[in-house]
Amino acid sequence: MPDLLNEILKLRTRERVEMLSRNGQIFHVIMAQQFLREFIDEICLLADMIREINSSRHGADFLQRLLPHRRAMIYFTQPSTRTFLSFACACQILGMRYNEVRDPKTSSEVKGESEEDAVRVFSQYFDVIIMRHPMEGFSEKTAHMINRMHRTIPVINGGSGRDQHPTQALLDIYTLYQSFSGGSLVRRAAGIQIDPFPGKVIGMVGDLQRGRTVRSLSYLLCRYPGVTIHFISPPELGIGEDILEYLREHEVEYHISQELDPLLPELDAVYMTRIQDEHDAMAGQSSRIDYSRFYLTPDKLERAKPTMAILHPLPRRQEIHVDCDADPRAKYWQQVQNGMWMRAALLAYVFNTEERIRSYYLENYTY
C-alpha cells in the first residue's frame, strides 16, 4: 500500500496527529509531535509512580493485576536488544503477556503473505502492536490500516527507520526530569507543581548530525521554556539546520560549539552520543578529527558541577570512560532502566489504567 503512505505524508502534522488520536487522547503512539507539554508531564509522572510502586511487593502485585488480560505483539524486524527487552519487561511489570516476531525472514508463512496481511493477522490475536521497522513511516501506515479494521488496537512505534524513536525521547526527558528534581517526581503527585527546567543548561555532545535521539529530544525540549542548549560537536557532525530553525521558532536559547571542556562547568546535564565512526571511512573524517575532545573521563568530571547529570542513549564506545560509571552523576544506567518504566507508563496509558495507578499511589505513598 504505497498509496496509503503517500496519502498520509501529504497531510499536515496537525491532521496526522489527529488521525492517531481517539476521544481527544493519544491512541497510537507514533511520533514525537504528538506529545504536548501536559502529556509529557503526565507520562513522566506516571512512569515515576510505577517505578516507586513496583519497589514494594504489594505494589508489584497491584501492577501485575492491571493488564493480565492484554496481549502484546512485539514486532521488531530491525535488530534490537535493549529496546526489545525494555518493552518486554514493561509488559511483564503490568502483568501483560506478549509474543514476539523478530525476524520475519525465517517464517515462510509471513513470506507467503504481504506484511500488511501479517499485521492484520496480529490485530486479531493481540491487543497492542509494538513495532520496530526499518522503513520510515511503516508504523504510522500500520496505525491507519488498523483504523480501518473491525477490531482496532493501538500501535506503538518502537523505532522506525531514521526518522522517529518517540519512546526514547520520552525516557530521555523523564531522566532529565528526574535528575533535575533530585531523583523523584513524587512531590508533583502530591499536588505541588514544581518545574525544574527553567534556567537549566544542557549540553548535547558528539555526532549530532546522525543521531536521531538528540534530534527528538531537542523537539521535546521546546515544550520546556527556559532551558539553554549547547550543541557540541566536530563541525562536520553538527546538528541539522531544521532543528535550529525549530528552536528559534520556539524561542529556545541555543549555542553551537566545538569544544566540550570549557563548557563543562556550566552544564546541568550532558547528553553524550556515540561518534558513528563506522560511517567515517567514506568521508575520510577519522584521520582529521580528534574525537577524544568529545569523550568524558574521570579527570574531566572534576571540573563539572557536582549535580550535573550524565546521560547516554547507549550503546557506548569510548565516549564515557568505564571509570566514570561509579560517579553518582552517571545517570545512563538509570536512564536504561527508565526506558522500562516509561514504556510501562505508555502501555498503562494506552489501556486507560493511569487513573487506577494514580489512586493507588496517592493512597499508599503520600505522607
Smallest Cα–Cα separation from 66: which of 363, 346, 341, 356? 356
The set of residues, in sequence order, having a beta carbon less than 8 Å from that of 177 and lying 6+ positions away, is: 44, 185, 196, 197
Is 83 a residue of the active site? yes
CA torsion angle 360 169 319 206 (round to 10) = -160
Binding to its own copies in span 94-123, by CB under 8 A:
97, 99, 101, 103-104, 106-110, 112-113, 116-118, 120-123
From residue 271 to residue 310, the character string flagging contacts with its own copies as x (rule: CB under 8 A) and all else as - is ----------------------------------------
The total of other beta-carbon atoms located within 10 Å of residue 315's CB is 9
- Nearer Cβ to its own copies (86/164): 86
- Nearer Cβ to its own copies (151/255): 151
Interface residue with its own copies among 33, 80, 228, 258 (CB under 8 A) is 80
* 310, containing H or E segment: strand 309-311
CA torsion angle 352 54 338 224 (round to 10) = 60
- Nearer Cβ to its own copies (90/304): 90
Binding to its own copies in span 23-62, by CB under 8 A:
54, 57, 60-61
Q: State phi, psi for 98 to the nearest 5 degrees.
A: -145, 160
The count of residues interacting with its own copies (CB under 8 A) is: 57
Burial class (CB in 10 A: 0-12, 13-18, 19+), 69: exposed
User: Residue numbers of the site for its own copies (CB under 8 A)?
Assistant: 54, 57, 60-61, 64, 68-69, 71, 73, 79-83, 85-86, 88-89, 92, 97, 99, 101, 103-104, 106-110, 112-113, 116-118, 120-126, 148-151, 314-317, 322, 325-326, 333-334, 336-337, 340
List active site positions: 82-83, 111, 132, 165
